[in-house]
Amino acid sequence: MLMKGVTLRGLEVFEALAKSGSVAQAAEITGLSQPAVSQQLRNLEKALSSDLVDHGRRPMVLTSAGRSFLSRTQAVLSELRLAQSELTVMDLSHLPALSLGLIDDFDNDLTPRLATILADSLTQCRFKMVTSSSHDIYRAMEAKDLHIGIAASTGELRSGVTEYPLVEDPFILVAPRGAVTAPEDIGSQLNHLPLLRYARDQLISQQIESHLTRSKLEFEDRFEIGSHLALMAMVARRIGWAITTPLGYMRAVRFHDDIDAFALPFTGFSRRISLFSQSDWPDTVPLEVAGTVRRLVQSQMITPAVNRLPWLAGQMRVIDA
């Protein structure tokens, strides 16, 4: 039983304040008024008999007690959000078959959760799930080998396929830990290291190269890596720097102690992850799957990413239906 004064709303407000350092921004995140945010924080601090933030500083910063409590708060809220997504059970028992393809960006966290949720719902169904590249998922959709595909969008209209946007995934820069000491001058601090590129047959590589061309930016063409984790390992070993996305960064958690992530030092851009379904399907099925994926992405990927890189708040986001 929670002690009197500790509420879920109070925990959500505290998490939002810790991210933003601002009552106004916390109010925007939580949908409360600014006085209500302040009151929730006062109630929580009173219940815990401890100051969680330094009220004399702007933007607000956490006290040592606040930093300790934040890690527990984030863990609790993450589990509650996950439980909520898993309890929102889809009714897909009427389907005789479902074949689903997902990009491997989701392998670490989302795909295993989605597989178990779908398996619980598809009680009388022949179910197939595969992970692959966006290009391969597009080809499988065109060949009608998949009913539903989740992949990075190219923005093109595809005949016979309906698109349901899921996630905005901005591109970011990753560099060896400590190589950038002044984020406002990233370019000059990395000019002695090469750009590590994704393999050119990958959609993410084509999107990056197109943006560099539009921005009239040129870098030495020396490394081209087909494996995402191999590319992140090379950054960690100080061989070079790379352009990736938060989804890619979070897949490389084993290298986080050896790499730093930054907003791009040139014009920002992002990719969209979408669910694609065959147009001759009733939209109830893709809509239910899309809703579940959005909830899982928020709890399993976006929230942990923003907790680690607070400047991503508002940039990496679920795209509501």
pLDDT in tens, 252-269: 999 999 999 999 998 889
Q: Check residue 55 and report its DSSP letter.
A: T
Paired strand residues for 101: 130, 149
Q: What is the mean pLDDT of the chain?
A: 86
* pTM for the model: 0.71
CB-based contacts of 121: which residues, under 8 Å, 6+ apart? 89, 90, 91, 92, 93
Q: Torsion over CA of 250, 107, 212 and 223, rounded to 10 degrees?
A: 90
| The pLDDT value given to residue 87 | 46
Identify each DSSP E strand in 35-76 by its residue range: 53-54, 61-62
Query: At which residue do the structure tokens 């933030």 appear?
Result: 53
| The pLDDT value given to residue 316 | 92
Indicate the pairing of strand 61-62 with strand 270-278.
unpaired
Q: Which of 78-87, 116-125, 184-193, 211-220 reaches the highest mean pLDDT?
A: 211-220
Q: Torsion over CA of 127, 226, 168 and 31, rounded to 10 degrees?
A: 90
Helix, strand, coil shares of the chain as percentages rounded to 5?
Answer: 50, 20, 30
Report the residue count for the chain: 321
Residue 292 contacts residue 114 (beta carbons within 8 Å): yes
